[in-house]
Amino acid sequence: MRRGRKWWLAAGIGLIVLAAAAGIKYFFFPDYEPFTVIEQRELSSPKYGTYVYRGIADQGEYDGKFKRRGIGETQNGDIIYELKNDPGHNRLILIYNTEMPWWELYERQDIMSGQTDSKLDHTIDEENDVILRLDTARNLGRLDDFMDKKLGRLKVVHYSIEGDPIFDMLQYAAGRIKVTIDNTLDRFGTPKVRSFTCTQLERQESDTKQIYMLTGCTGIEAEQVQLVRVDYELSAQDRFSFVLKYGKKLKNEINTRDMTLVMDHGASMTEVSDFQLSPQDMQQIYRKLVLANYLETKTLTDRCSSSSGEKYALEVTINGAVRNYAWGGCDKGLDGQQMTEIAQLIIDTVRNNEAYKPIF
């Protein structure tokens, strides 16, 4: 009999301990889901109730804390969640899950879809921001890094024809991209700041243009929004030519301006007149120049040493403008490496041409 009482006593104590543990977990370690606020809507009359929103992957309640309360699903696939609002709280917060645990999300940033937002920081970082002027695109590779990493922030600065900056801020949040557009410094536009969200950023590229497109957007009129477009269609230009000199003493010359080709073989020189490249080859070279932002001032040097001693001098004529660049093959700066890639593309294009292979 005593053994039976001990068994019941042990079982009772065990149940009490389990209940206490469950209570501690419920009150002190609630099963909150990771979240990031993606949209905030005002309710006309705060009250307890059930609300249905189409196209939202996950929703939650707002009562000072965020906790998922899924209570069903309609026939058309809408997810129903119960919204519990305390008196005085009239905000419905729609949320997406994220990998970041809730206790790390101290800084919560609401996204007011289609609504007025606060101004962005108007500081321009020439090294890290994507900067787009009429004929130039600086730091375009940052957009590719942003797409690949799928995290962090990126500022894109567009300059209007009048020279006024328009700011776009991109920020990954829970698998979506928050986009904030601030044109308050545009003197000839309607000053406003607005935000919306998109599912992803895509790069669309052809021989004549490169476009970065935001897709799956909500909170804005169009589902797709063109963020950046860079055109490099050579046929749109009146004139394009270049003169590339390279080698230890710059004796090799590829010249589309005067239609000449000169190769230094050490003991002898070979010259070709009536030299020309195909429109397709010229298009690829022009594309490379545009994507390297060739019209902007470059930081280059030839005051460095290397085993090859290779040097380069490039003259580019575009319509009525002429740009000159000189650098060494040992220049490991970003501009130097980009210009060396352009020079190598030109050299390889000529070397692989059946008409000019024999002289290399």
For residue 326, what are the contacts with CB-CB under 8 A and spacing of at least 6? 300, 302, 311, 312, 313, 314
300, part of any domain: yes
In whole angstroms, how large is the CA radius of gyration of the chain? 31
Between CA 312 and CA 244 the distance in angstroms is 7
Q: How many residues does the chain have?
A: 360
Q: Are residues 258 and 310 in the same domain?
A: yes
Domains held by the chain: number: 3
Q: Are residues 241 and 351 in the same domain?
A: yes
- Given 203, 231, 259, the domain boundary residue is 231
pTM: 0.65
Q: Is residue 154 part of a domain?
A: yes
The answer as to whether 170 is a domain residue is: yes
240 within a domain of the structure (yes/no): yes
Pairing between β-strand 153-159 and β-strand 130-132 as defined by DSSP bridges: parallel
226 with 241, same domain: the answer is no
Which residues in the chain belong to E strands, given as ranges?
A: 36-42, 49-53, 70-73, 79-83, 91-96, 130-132, 137-138, 153-159, 165-173, 176-182, 193-198, 200-205, 209-215, 225-231, 240-247, 252-255, 260-264, 269-273, 311-318, 321-328
User: Is 15 within the bounds of a domain?
Assistant: no
| Domain span including residue 148 | 130-231
Which residue, 176, 201, 231, sits at the end of a domain?
A: 231
Angle CA(165)–CA(170)–CA(175) in degrees, nearest 5?
170
pLDDT of residue 222: 86
Does the residue 48 lie in any domain? yes
What string of pLDDT tens digits covers the 360 residues of the chain?
455 566 666 666 666 666 665 554 444 444 433 333 333 333 333 333 333 332 233 333 333 333 333 333 333 333 333 333 333 433 333 333 333 333 333 222 333 333 345 678 898 998 899 999 887 899 999 999 999 888 889 999 999 989 999 999 999 877 789 999 999 999 888 888 889 999 999 999 999 999 999 999 998 888 999 999 999 999 999 999 999 999 999 999 999 999 999 999 888 999 999 999 999 999 999 999 999 999 989 999 988 877 678 999 999 999 989 999 999 999 999 899 999 999 999 999 999 999 999 988
Instruction: Assess whether 276 and 343 both reside in one domain.
Output: yes
Are the CB atoms for 300 and 311 separated by under 8 Å?
no
The verdict on residue 123 lying in a domain is no
Give the SS3 label for residue 179.
strand
> Hunting for tokens 């799956």 — which residue is that?
216
Buried b (16+ CB within 10 A) or exposed e, 19-55: eeeeeeeeeeeeeeebbbbbbeeeeeebeeeeeeeee
H or E stretch including 146?
Answer: helix 141-149
Determine the distance from the C-alpha atom of residue 299 to the mean position of all C-alpha atoms in its chain, rounded to a whole number: 25
Q: What is the CATH number of the domain that holds 345?
A: 3.30.1560.10
Which amino acid is residue 200, in one-letter code? Q
In a domain? residue 317: yes
Q: Which of 181, 209, 231 is the last residue of a domain?
A: 231
